Amino acid sequence: MNKPFTMQRRSALAAGLALAATSFAARARASRTPVEVWKDPSCGCCQDWVAHLEANGFQVKVNDSGNNAARSRLGIARKYGSCHTALVGGYALEGHVPAREIRRLLKEKPQAVGLAVPGMPVGSPGMDGEVYGGRKDAYDVLLLARDGSGKVYQHYEGVRKAASAAPDAQLTEAEVRKVDWQNRKVTLRHGAIRNLEMPAMTMAFEVADAGMLDRLKAGDKVLFAASAEGGRYTVTQIQPVR
């Protein structure tokens, strides 16, 4: 047996297999549907939504800024706003839209601006981690028309929990990460919010009164209270920690 020749054949075979694997991986990447996302750099749930898209065959380009500008540029009304905006196949996406509905949108190709999941409903993709303890709130995926209206494209049922006495709202410790005067929002890195059953995380909240933002700046330590309605989380009280 010609051993050098056998080793040469083995090396050639290994090189061929490696080339084939590289070529297959390149084709797989090329076949993934491209999505461009604009998000707040400090928002963890936005990154979890990106991971959801990648796990479902999308190739995602992430911009850690420009969410508000992208929303305006793509024609999404402010009332449908969430923590990130995206563009896929000529359609706009706002918020935690499930990959299943994005695929459906691209297949059906309706005359529309795109899809939105207003607010940040717990249980939607990116808001469904283990830290939420299996909690799932009902929410709607909306199909947005060019006249600014929206209609239900898909409804997702929530998971009902056993009734219990709701705890009183209490102040939660947090650090201000960003103040957005234009959109009346403040991004907070906060501890667990007991009355909302929300774990510690970093998230952008609307504020009940725009005047609350006047006394805030990035880096401030604060105590705050928040409420939730229709998937929207609103700071109802906030005060600096002296």
Instruction: Determine the Cα–Cα distance for residues 189 and 59; give it in Å rounded to an integer.
Output: 29
Tell me the pLDDT band of 238, cut-offs 50, 70 and 90: very high
pLDDT higher at 3 or 236: 236
Same fold, 33-156 and 172-240: no
pLDDT at 53 over 60: yes
Mean pLDDT of 49-57: 96
Question: Using one digit for the tens of pLDDT, what is the confidence trace for 179-204?
Answer: 998 888 999 999 989 888 888 889 88
Q: Residue 93 corresponds to which amino acid?
A: L
Tell me the pLDDT band of 11, cut-offs 50, 70 and 90: low
Instruction: Determine the Cα–Cα distance for residues 32 and 92; give it in Å rounded to an integer.
Output: 18
Domain boundaries along the sequence of the chain: 33-156, 172-240
Given a contact cutoff of 8 angstroms between Cβ atoms, the answer to whether 127 and 45 are in contact is yes
Q: Residue 101 corresponds to which amino acid?
A: E
Residue percentage of the chain with pLDDT more than 90? 55
Architecture of domain 172-240: Beta Barrel (2.40)
Instruction: Determine the Cα–Cα distance for residues 35 and 135; give it in Å rounded to an integer.
Output: 28
Instruction: Determine the Cα–Cα distance for residues 130 and 234; give it in Å rounded to an integer.
Output: 23
Beta strands 221-229; 172-180: pairing state = antiparallel
Domain 33-156 has CATH 2.60.40: no
- Residue in 127, 35, 113 with CA at minimum distance from that of residue 71: 113
**pLDDT for res 165:** 40
pLDDT higher at 12 or 108: 108
**pLDDT for res 28:** 44
Give the sign of the dihedral formed by CA 55, CA 96, CA 181, CA 149.
Answer: positive
Helix (H, G, I), strand (E, B) or coil at 85: strand
Tokens of 235: 């700071």
Beta bridge partners, 184, equal none
Tell me the pLDDT band of 26, cut-offs 50, 70 and 90: very low
pLDDT at 1 over 60: no
| pTM score, whole prediction | 0.67
Instruction: Determine the Cα–Cα distance for residues 167 and 153; give it in Å rounded to an integer.
Output: 34
Tell me the pLDDT band of 91, cut-offs 50, 70 and 90: very high
Average pLDDT for the chain:
85
**pLDDT for res 62:** 96
Mean pLDDT of 84-103: 97
Mean pLDDT of 22-32: 53
Question: Using one digit for the tens of pLDDT, what is the confidence trace for 202-232?
Answer: 988 999 888 889 889 999 999 999 998 767 8
What is the DSSP secondary-structure string of 4-55?
HHHHHHHHHHHHHHHHHHHHHHHHHHHHSEEEEEEE-TT-HHHHHHHHHHHH
Instruction: Determine the Cα–Cα distance for residues 216 and 212; give it in Å rounded to an integer.
Output: 7
